[in-house]
Structure 1
Amino acid sequence: MFTAPPGYQPIYGPSVPYTGPIYGGLRAGMSLYIQGAIPHHITRFEVDLQCGEFEGCDIAFHFNPRFDGWDKVVFNTFQNGEWEEQEKIHQMPFSKGEAFEMVIAVTSEGYQVNVNGSEFYMYPHRMPLDRVSALHIAGDVTVQSINIIGGGYPGGGYPGGNLPIMGLQPIYNPPMPYSGMVPGGMSPKRTIIIKGMLPYGANRLAINFMVACSRDVAFHLNVRLQEGIVVRNSQIGGDWGQEERELSFNPFQEGQYFDISIRCGNQRFKVFVNGQHMCNFFHRVQPFTQIDLLEIEGDAQLSYIHF
């Protein structure tokens, strides 16, 4: 079972309806990241930021897509036992039968909702942020993962309450191919999260952990969709090493979102995909702390990288 580093605990495959705490409360600078899928038979679903985990509690932010022939998304606030005035958007960012990614970015002005990488709507605050203590999801929706970034108690590691490692914020919608330094380099127990989608017709996705000064590839993870394999290797001094191909399962498919967690240990990398352990890769570059560059290439659409 994947144990995330302190302060970072994604929630995988929760049942719906789902209600869970936001440890430490909500504040500006935090983000809620939800991956899921919409069934073909959908009528509506809702995502609520609540002031408690009980029925009838105040709701600071109510997000309610409705497929009713006049497709729309309703925003509202519920307090003192009553719904307030609705804000309706007659535009539907979700498609029946398709997967989605939704980000709720909390700002000092309100809740910025982005769906599938595009800005959708800003809902201004009607209640104090510090009253929000729970997330509720219900209706016709399947949830793959929930990440709450920027909250939690320092070093707490509570499920759902996530403190950014080294105070870093996620990178949303990074370009492909991606190349970026790993701030501070790799260290024991450090986890890097990569989320995105493999569109239909995609052929490959390659993730490289590198030593910038030598361009050595310490860990090469190569998803070959058409062959149905995931190859692991290293390239040191210009020479490729021994390939590793054995897997207990291959989670990568065309048309599907992926959630990759790569954790660095003292002896090896551990790779988890969609919450399940996929493989290990023992370090071939020592000391591994000199690994300081991440490069990603291929046919994927990236939505999120967290260091």
Structure 2
Amino acid sequence: MSTASIDSLSSCEVATSDYLKPINSEILSTKSEVICQYSFKELIPGSCFLISGVVLRTCERFSINFLAVSNKQDVALHFNPRLPQNYIVRNSKINGHWGSEETHSQFSSRYDLLRGHRFQVEFLITESEFIIAINNRLFGVFEHRINYKKLNAIEVKGDVKEVAIEQLFRDKYPDVPIPEIPLEEPSDDSIFPVPMLVNIPNGFTKNKSIHIIAKVKMLPHSITINLQSRPYFYPHAIIPLHINPRFGGGKHIICRNTWNHGKWGKEERTDISSKDLSPGRMFKMTIFCDFEFYHIFLNDYLFAEYRHRCETNIVDTLCIFGDIVLKKVWIETKSFD
């Protein structure tokens, strides 16, 4: 599942910013005519739609709307790229009223929707959300605000042409070979693609350490580092350790949690100081596994310990996404002295 946006500021290091928003963020597409419409019957998890076309050279914005059965023409997902502002609005309309807009993407703060070029947007429906990819690059998710079983049509509006819609089914995403994490520290910095999914040879078992050297993007929203049971975003993997630095709301925190039995457990939180993690600065994180805990080191000091909530031997994948530039990632098998 791909994504050019605020690259003029710094393509690798800028995250979504409020100052990029227009004055009236509720303005919809400048054109109301329907370019393409597609109807379908009741969906099941794994249903997927590929929507392709060409962005007009004069494009300001366009929208892809998933419509639901109702008298007021509810919109379950309004996907609205706005090229002059370099971001994508996601929203829903229920009983004639628009909900709260989402403009930040937890997976990618850049996207490749270029005037005069072809595009493809993929929407994968799961039980809880839409998974969205742009030009084969994972973009983000949108949680269902309307039951997906009520969806019955898609319409495309705005400054695009040659639009086609294809429906298919996916039993997993992504369905591509997953590279292995390096077994020793790389000799040089090399920027890893984000989101990153890598296989951990022989699993992340006791007395192993994962090292991450990276930079926090400017204007960050959040970063996610998951130790999980399989290399997929769908179906949802078991996640024995979820590390989630969050930078919004004026207070910066790192949350830890576990996803098991189809839900998140009780969250653990620790405040982040500017010396730990701050926008535009490099940091090193090391995760060490022993018999009772994951030990999380930040810039070579013990930041937190997280007691195991499920078996650690199921971990075979490292997943990293969010407002981060990855420089080095590797694993080693030895305990700390």
Q: TM-score range by the shorter chain?
A: 0.3 to 0.5
TM-score, structure 2 as length reference: 0.40
